[in-house]
Every structure is written in C-alpha cells, then in structure tokens.
Amino acid sequence: MTTFYRQPVHVARGEGVWLWDTDGRRYLDCYNNVPHVGHCHPRVVEAIAGQAATLNTHTRYVHDAILDYGEALTAKFDHDLDSMVMVCSGSEANDVALRMAQAVTGKTGIIGTDNTYHGNTTAVSQLNSSKTPIGGYLDHVRQVPAPDNMQPVGGSCAGQVEAFAKGVEQAIAELEASGHGVSTLIVCPYFANEGFPTLERGFLDRAIAAVRKAGGLIIADEVQPGFGRIGSHWWGHEKLGFAPDIVTLGKPMGNGHPVAAVVTRPDILTAFQEQFKYFNTFGGNPVSAAAAMAVLQVIEDENLVQNAADVGAYAVDLLRQVQVQHDVIADVRGSGLFFGAELWQDGAPATELCAEMVDAMRERGVLLHSVGRHENTLKVRPPCVFSRANADQLAETLDAAMRAVT
Ligand code: PMP
C-alpha cells in the first residue's frame, strides 16, 4: 500500500477523534470516516466481542442480528427501499448494485463521472478515473464530466445542471447507438471523490429523468456521505432530493469492522437473485450485523447527525475566517462533517501546496488529506463525534500551517 504523508504515521491506538502513534504522540483525526462514531467506541467494541463470543456463521442460517439490522437500516430510508444485501466492502456493494441494474434492465451500459472512485473489483474499477484500465475503458462504460465548484461543467455554476445533464444525455445516446443500452447511472450523491462541489437540491433531476426514460436505474453510492455525516440528512440522495433505486453503503457502517450493504426494492433484489444466485460467505455474518447495529444505535443515542450539522457549520465558519487571511484559499465548502478548503495559486490549482499543507498539518498533530481532480482541496471528514473544540484546533492549526508553507 501507499501510505499517507512523507513521514507515515505509525499508529498504535485510537479513541474518539484521537489517534496515538507508537511514540505516544497524539493526533487529531480530521480524516477518518470509517470510525464514524469515534475510534474504538466502547458500544461497538462490546457488540463485536459479545457476538463473537456467542456465535459467528454465515447467512445461510437465519439469525436475529441480521434480520433486526435489516429492519433498522431500511427504516432509515423514506422511500420504497426495504430490502438489503450485506457484503464486506463498498467495492462489493457497488459490484452487486451494477449487476442488479443489469438484471432488471437486461442492458449493460453504465454511466459514471469522469473523476471518481467506486471500488476495486474488475467491474467497478472500470468506473475509476485515476488510472485507465489495461486495454482502455470497456465500451459499455461512459464517463461524463463531473460537477465542480471552481471549474464548473459548461463554464458556469449556473449552467452546470444543464451541462451535466447534457453529458448524461450524450452518454445515453452513445450507449443506445452502440447496442449496450443503459442499465444505470451510478453517482455518489455528494460527489465526494470528485471534490464535494456545492450543488443545489435538484441538481441531478434532469440527468436522472433522462436515464429513467432510457429504462436505466439510479444507483446512489452512499459509501462516503451516508449515515448522517453530511448533517442535514441521513443520506446524500435526500439532500440532493432524489429517490435512487439502489443505494450502496460501506465505510462507516461497522465503524471499522468490514461490513457494507446494498439497499434496494424487493423486485430488484428478486431479479438479481434470479439472475445471479448470489451468496457471500462473510457478508452479513452475525458479528458484522452486531457491529453495524451498534453503530446505528450510537448515531441515534449520541445525536451524531445533529452534531455533524452543528459542528460542521461551526467549522466551515472558522475556515472562512482563516480564508480571509490567506489568498491561496479559493473556496471553503462542505456539509456537516465533510468539508474542506480548495487551494489555488497564480490562477491555477495549487496541487503542490496542498500536498505540503497535508504534511504541515500532520507535523502539527492534525490528520487530513486532499481530494479533487487536481488534488488541491484539503478534505476534512472526521469521526462524527468531532466537537467545536476540535474544530477550533483544526482552524488554528490550518492557519499556522498555511503561514509556514506560503
Ligand atoms: N465508493 C466510494 C464512493 C468510495 O469512496 C470507496 C472507497 N474509497 C468505495 C466505494 C470502495 O469501498 P471499499 O474500499 O470499502 O471497497
């Protein structure tokens, strides 16, 4: 694996928003969304240990932990998504989702954005934009220009809705002309890997209407924005105001335990099972289900969605105050506990400076990273127990690091 930072952090333990390295140095974790309810949350740890000490099998047996979790999770969706398949990773979830769309539509065409990541299986990695697959992208995959704040599709933020939709409409026309047809449009509804641009509710409506008209399904990859991180809603698709046919979940779902899921309608799940006879040995085992259930309960009991909204807004405000001091901060944006600052210098994306900032922050005990087409946006996405005091430390450190590197 490639590790983060010029000097990798040699981690030893974690608690809440804190990580300690092997020398006992403490870091404020502003980056890790997997420990969603905080590193080593005692309730999640207890749930995992308790279930591991009782029974762990696979999903060929009926088990209350799995059934109860399915009920609890699907209750969090306010439209007709009330079926769930548990898997082990976001990649698998997206792989399953793509095949669900194929099973329902009988078509193979897939539309994604041109600046994204949806996982590491052979099928899903066809959608990733950082490296071209060997032999090039397969003909049934189309990448449309991703929305962006600083370099909007079509040249202006106001025209971006239409320009994005036109990209999708063109991809549909191409897929139909080449005989693949459209099985799905798959997007992260927060466009997290694309650099989380600020988008108005309804941004995707026209593109979605075009996909549906062509007979395709909509997959919302909620691996990053899901489970309340964005503060205003539990799910990114609710914030953008659309109703996907399939939702994929991962990273935060088990607070670090490898569990992920696909949530969909019963008719879609039936079509998928008929076509593929799916089984997953580890996906949805009772220990995974116990971990995931504990996460759901902690989010509720500790009001973490509300906390994400409150602390996120507070932190964005602080970063805007830092922005006033530093010309290189071109944009501060985000929602809930998923926000950041885009850096530009001399009229161009400040990629190098952003990398230096990531290291300068690490040296000052704050962990974050970069994202975006040019890797010039500092990405802050901490455990959702992040507090206002943590946000103060983040902003002060950002200001100090910025003074040091510019
Ligand atoms: N979807 C999105 C949007 C992701 O960001 C990622 C991982 N970064 C994945 C899917 C893949 O998840 P995993 O690493 O659990 O396979």
What digits encode the pLDDT tens for the residues 340-377? 999 999 999 999 999 999 999 999 999 999 999 999 99
Domain membership flag for residue 166: yes
User: What average pLDDT does the segment 34-54 reach?
Assistant: 98
Label residue 42 by pLDDT band (50, 70, 90). Answer: very high
Q: Which of 253, 275, 301 is the last residue of a domain?
A: 301
* Residue 33 Cβ < 6 Å to ligand 1: no
Output the pLDDT for position 131. Answer: 85
| Angstrom distance (rounded) from CA 17 to CA 92 | 28
- Is the pLDDT at 133 greater than 90? The verdict is no
Nearest to 226 by CA among 295, 165, 283: 295
Output the pLDDT for position 254. Answer: 98
For residue 331 the two structure tokens come to: 């944009």
Domain membership flag for residue 38: no
Nearest CA to ligand 1 atom 4: 118
Cα dist. 344→178, 326, 330, 354, 395 in Å? Answer: 40, 11, 6, 9, 19
pLDDT in tens, 206-222: 999 999 999 999 999 99
Domain membership flag for residue 127: yes
Output the pLDDT for position 352. Answer: 98
Same domain? 277 vs 364: no
Distance 89 CA to ligand 1 centre (A): 7
Domain membership flag for residue 240: yes
Q: Look at the chain and report how many structural domains it folds into.
A: 2
- Give the domain extent around 279: 44-301
For residue 342 the two structure tokens come to: 């885009």
Mutating to test ligand 1, I would choose from 88, 115, 117, 246 the residue with most ligand atoms within 8 A of its C-beta, which is 117
pLDDT in tens, 218-247: 999 999 999 999 999 999 999 999 999 999
Domain membership flag for residue 39: no
Output the pLDDT for position 252. Answer: 98
Same domain? 131 vs 237: yes
Q: Which of 272, 301, 330 is the last residue of a domain?
A: 301
Cβ(255)–Cβ(44) below 8 Å:
yes
- Average pLDDT over the chain, rounded to whole? 97
CATH of residue 90's domain is 3.40.640.10
Distance 223 CA to ligand 1 centre (A): 6
Its pTM surpasses 0.95: yes
